[in-house]
Structure 1
Amino acid sequence: MSIRRAALWSLASQYASFAIQFATSVIVSRFFLLPADVGLFSIALAAAMMFAIFQDLGISRFVSGQPEMKDEAIRDYAAVAVALGWFVALLVAAAALPLARFYQQPALLPIVLVIALSYAIVPLALVPAALLTRAMNFRALFVANAGSALAGGVTAFVCAAHGAGPGALAWGVLATAATRALIVLAFRPVFPRMIRDRSAVQPLLGFGSSSFVISCSAAIGLRSQDLIVGRLLGVVATGLFTRASALAAQLSTLVVGAINTVFYPAFARKRDAGEPLGEPYLHLVACNTALNWPAMLGLALAAEPVVLALYGPKWEAVAPLLRWTALGEIFFVAVPLQMDIPILLGRIKSLVWINLLDTVLTVLILGLACLYGVEAAAMSRLATGALWFAIYITFQKKLLAIPAQRIVMVYLRSGLCAVAAGFPLFTALQTGLYRAEMGLLPLVGLAGVGALFWLGALVLVRHPAWDEVKLMLGHLWPQPLRRARG
Structure 2
Amino acid sequence: MSTRRAIAFSFLDRYAALALSIGSSVIISRLMTPAEIGVYSVTMVFVSLAAAFRDLGAGQFLLQKRALEPRHLRAVWTVMIAAGCLMALLILLGAWPLSLFYDEPRIVPIMALIALGYVFNSFGAMSYAWLMRSLRFEALAMMRFSATLTGTAVTLLLAWKQYGPISLAWGSLVTAVTNAAVGQYYRPDGFRWWPGREGLREVVSFGSKISLTSVAGVIGGGMSEMALGKLQDLHSVGLYSRANGLAAMFSRLVMDATNAVALPLFARATREHGSSLQPWLRATSYVTVLGWSFAVGVALLGSPLVLLLYGAQWGDAVPPLRWLALAMAINLPAALCTQVLIGAGQADRVLRITMMAALCQLVCTTAGAAISVEAAAQGFALSQVPVALAWLHGAQKQLGFSWSELLALLLRSAACVALVAVVPILLVLRYGSHPAAPLVPLLAALGGGGMLLLLALRLFKHPLWSECLRMAGFIRAKSGFLRG
Name the TM tier (shorter chain): over 0.9
Moved more, 131-140 or 319-328: 319-328
Once residues 99 and 433 of structure 2 are traced to their aligned partners in structure 1, the CA distance between those partners, rounded to angstroms, is 45
1:52 corresponds to which letter in structure 2? A
Q: Choose 180-189 or 321-330, whichever is displaced more.
A: 180-189
Asked if 2 retains the 8 angstrom alpha-carbon contact of 1:46 and 1:226, the reply is: yes
- Does the 8 A contact of 2:16 with 2:145 survive in 1? yes
Instruction: Note closer, same or farther for the CA distance 1:387–1:436 as it changes in structure 2 (3 Å cut).
Output: farther
Give the equivalent residue in structure 2 for 1:302: 301
Name the amino acid aligned to 2:139. A
Q: Determine the structure 2 residue equivalent to 1:46.
A: 45
Q: Please say which of residues 55-64 and 3-12 is displaced more in the overlay.
A: 55-64
Whole-angstrom distance in 2 between the partners of 1:71 and 1:224: 40
1:219-368 aligned at under 5 Å gives the runs 219-368=218-367
CA contact (8 A) 2:224 2:365 kept: yes
1:446/1:347 Cα in 2 relative to 1: closer, same or farther (>3 Å)? closer
2:199 partner SS: helix
CA distance in 1, matches of 2:434, 2:243: 20
Does residue 22 of the first structure (1) align with residue 22 of the second (2)? yes
Shift in Å, 1:81:
0.4
Instruction: Select between 183-192 and 51-60 the one with higher mean Cα deviation.
Output: 183-192
Helix, strand or coil for the counterpart of 1:163?
coil
In structure 2, how many angstroms separate the alpha carbons of the residues matched to 1:363 and 1:95?
Answer: 21
CA distance in 2: counterparts of 1:225 and 1:120, whole angstroms: 28
1:189: how far off? 5.1
Further displaced range: 307-316 or 220-229: 220-229
Per-residue CA deviations over 1:450-473 (Å, capped at 9, x if unaligned) read 111111111111111111111112
Matched, 1:154 2:153: yes
- 1:152–1:174 CA contact under 8 A, matched in 2: yes
Question: 2: distance between equivalents of 1:114 and 1:297?
Answer: 39
Question: Which moves more between the two structures, 350-359 or 428-437?
Answer: 428-437
TM-score normalized with structure 1 length: 0.94
Residue identity opposite 2:7 in structure 1: A
State the 4+ residue runs in structure 1 displaced beyond 6 angstroms: none
Sort the Cα spacing of 1:216 and 1:433 in 2 relative to 1 into closer, same or farther, 3 A. Answer: closer
| Match status 1:83 vs 2:82 | yes
Q: Which residue in the other structure is 2:464 paired with?
A: 465
Q: 1:12-49: per-residue Cα shift (whole Å, max 9, x none)? A: 0110011101111111112x100000100001111111
Query: Which residue pairs with 1:10 in the alignment?
Result: 10
TM-score by length of 2: 0.95
Question: Following the alignment from structure 1 to structure 2, what is the Cα–Cα distance between the partners of residues 181 and 296?
Answer: 36
* Aligned residue runs from structure 1 range 433-444, under 5 A: 436-444=435-443
For structure 2, the residue ranges without an aligned partner over 5 or more in a row are: none
What does the per-residue CA deviation read over 1:314-334, in whole Å, with 9 as the maximum and x for residues that have no partner? 111111111111121112222
- 1: distance between equivalents of 2:194 and 2:451? 58
Q: Distance in 2 between matches of 1:121 and 1:227?
A: 27
Q: Alpha-carbon deviation of 1:193?
A: 4.2
Quote the offset at 1:223 in angstroms.
2.9
Identity %: 30
Distance (Å, rounded) in 2 between the aligned partners of 1:235 and 1:95: 19
SS in 2 for 1:365: helix
**Match for residue 99 of structure 1?**
98
Q: Does 1:71 align with 2:70?
A: yes
Instruction: Give 1:122 deviation, angstroms.
Output: 1.3
Q: In the alignment, is the contact (CA less than 8 A) between 1:434 and 1:442 conserved in 2?
A: no
2:448 is equivalent to residue 453 of structure 1: no
Tell me, in whole angstroms, the C-alpha distance in 1 between the residues paired with 2:470 and 2:336.
24
**Which residue number corresponds to residue 177 of structure 1?**
176
Deviation at 1:307, TM superposition (A): 0.4
1:189 to 1:270, Cα distance in 2 relative to 1, 3 A: closer
| Residue aligning to 1:125 | 124
In structure 2, distance between residues paired with 1:140 and 1:25 = 26
Q: Which moved more, 1:61-70 or 1:206-215?
A: 206-215
Per the alignment, residue 407 of structure 1 pairs with 406
Cα shift readout 1:361-418 (whole Å, capped 9, x = no counterpart): 0000011111221111112222122221111112212321111111111111111212
Note closer, same or farther for the CA distance 1:207–1:282 as it changes in structure 2 (3 Å cut): same
Do 2:277 and 2:399's aligned partners in 1 also have CA atoms closer than 8 Å? yes
Tell me if structure 2 keeps the 8 A contact 1:321–1:378: yes
CA offsets per residue over residues 118-167 of structure 1, 9 Å max, x none? 12111211111000011111001111111111111111100101111011
Q: Which amino acid aligns with 1:336?
A: A
Equivalent residues of 1:45, 1:115 under 8 A apart = no
Q: Distance in 2 between matches of 1:398 and 1:431?
A: 48
Q: Which of 81-90 and 112-121 deviates more?
A: 112-121
* Alpha carbons 2:75, 2:203 under 8 Å: kept: no
Contact 1:7–1:258 (CA under 8 A) maintained in structure 2: yes
Give the RMSD, CA atoms, in angstroms.
2.0
**Comparing 470-479 and 226-235, the one that deviates more:** 470-479
Contact 1:50–1:223, Cα closer than 8 Å, also in 2 = no
Aligned AA (1:452): M
Return the offset for 1:192.
6.8
- Render the CA deviation track for 1:255-281: whole Å, top value 9, x for unaligned: 232122112111211111124322221
Structure 1 stretch displaced more, 186-195 or 359-368? 186-195
Q: Is the 8 A contact 2:228 2:370 kept in 1?
A: no
Q: Number of matched residues?
A: 480
Match of residue 484 from structure 1: none
Question: Does the 8 Å CA contact 2:74/2:192 hold for their aligned counterparts?
Answer: yes
Gap change, CA 1:192 and 1:174, over 3 Å in 2: farther
Counterpart contact for 1:256–1:292, Cα < 8 Å: no
Query: In structure 1, what is the Cα distance between the partners aligned to 2:277 and 2:430?
Result: 44
